[in-house]
Amino acid sequence: MLIYFSQTGNTQLLAQAIKKNVENSDIIYVGFWTDKGNASEEALDYLKTLHHQKIFLFGTAGFGKSEEYFKRIINKVKESIDSTNEVVGSFMCQGKMPDSVLQRYLSLKESDKAPKNIDLLIENYYEALNHPNEEDLENLKKAIV
Ligand SMILES: Cc1cc2nc3c(=O)[nH]c(=O)nc-3n(C[C@H](O)[C@H](O)[C@H](O)COP(=O)(O)O)c2cc1C
């Protein structure tokens, strides 16, 4: 079974890429977008309803420079999964963010409240625009069990 939560379409792209591959699987593939370092509330609410299931988590996040960051998110999501379930695998990649995020960064940069890493945030914004790309989708296909 495949279920996903996607606000702007990035996670939906991942779901579409594996739709055929996971047909008839006894694993529940759950896709989510990242909100405040965790899966979105809707996705967490769904995960909390699962018991005695095999779960594969896949998600997208605006920041993507390190696997460590993705791991932290996955671990956070796992906190909402009942221990009768088994998380059989996971995959995360970066996902583009809306233009409003860039506009916020740009106005912050001009203000006296700009965080020290504002240039890195802007750089990350542009990098995220390229994701999910074909390589991400291929990597997801390789990761699914
Ligand atoms: C309200 C909001 C909060 C977000 N919080 C985070 C976050 O904490 N960490 C992160 O890496 N990305 C964050 N993002 C970026 C999204 O997770 C990212 O763009 C994701 O790919 C969106 O997936 P979707 O297109 O499937 O909705 C946030 C985006 C929004 C709109």
pLDDT in tens, 57-100: 999 999 998 899 999 999 999 999 999 999 999 999 999 999 99
Q: Which residue has the tokens 């960064």?
A: 105
Given a cut of 90, whether residue 107 has pLDDT beyond it is yes
Question: Hey, where are the domains in the chain?
Answer: 2-95+131-143
Query: pLDDT tens digits for 17-58?
Result: 999 999 999 999 999 999 999 999 999 999 999 999 999 999
CA 22 and chain centroid, separation:
18
Protein residue whose Cα sits closest to atom 14 of ligand 1: 62
CA 83 and chain centroid, separation:
22
Given a cut of 90, whether residue 106 has pLDDT beyond it is yes
Q: What is the predicted pLDDT for the residue at 57?
A: 98
Which residues neighbour 11 within 8 Å (Cβ) at sequence distance 6 or greater? 4, 5, 31, 32, 33, 58, 59, 60, 95
Q: What is the predicted pLDDT for the residue at 65?
A: 81
34 C-alpha to ligand 1 centroid (Å): 5
Give the atom of ligand 1 at the shortest distance from the alpha carbon of 63.
Answer: 11
142 C-alpha to ligand 1 centroid (Å): 24
The C-alpha atoms of residue 56 and residue 31 are separated, in whole angstroms, by: 9
**pTM for this one?**
0.96
| Residues forming a β-bridge with 34 | 39
What class, spelled out in words, does domain 2-95+131-143 have in CATH?
alpha beta
Protein residue whose Cα sits closest to atom 8 of ligand 1: 36
Which residues neighbour 116 within 8 Å (Cβ) at sequence distance 6 or greater? none
20-68-65-93 Cα dihedral, nearest 10 degrees: 10
Give the atom of ligand 1 at the shortest distance from the alpha carbon of 13.
Answer: 26
Protein residue whose Cα sits closest to atom 27 of ligand 1: 7
Q: What is the mean pLDDT of residues 110-124?
A: 95
Burial class (CB within 10 angstroms; exposed 0-12, middle 13-18, buried 19+) of 14: buried
Q: What is the predicted pLDDT for the residue at 145?
A: 79
Please check whether residue 13 is in contact with residue 134, taking contact to mean a CB–CB distance below 8 angstroms: no
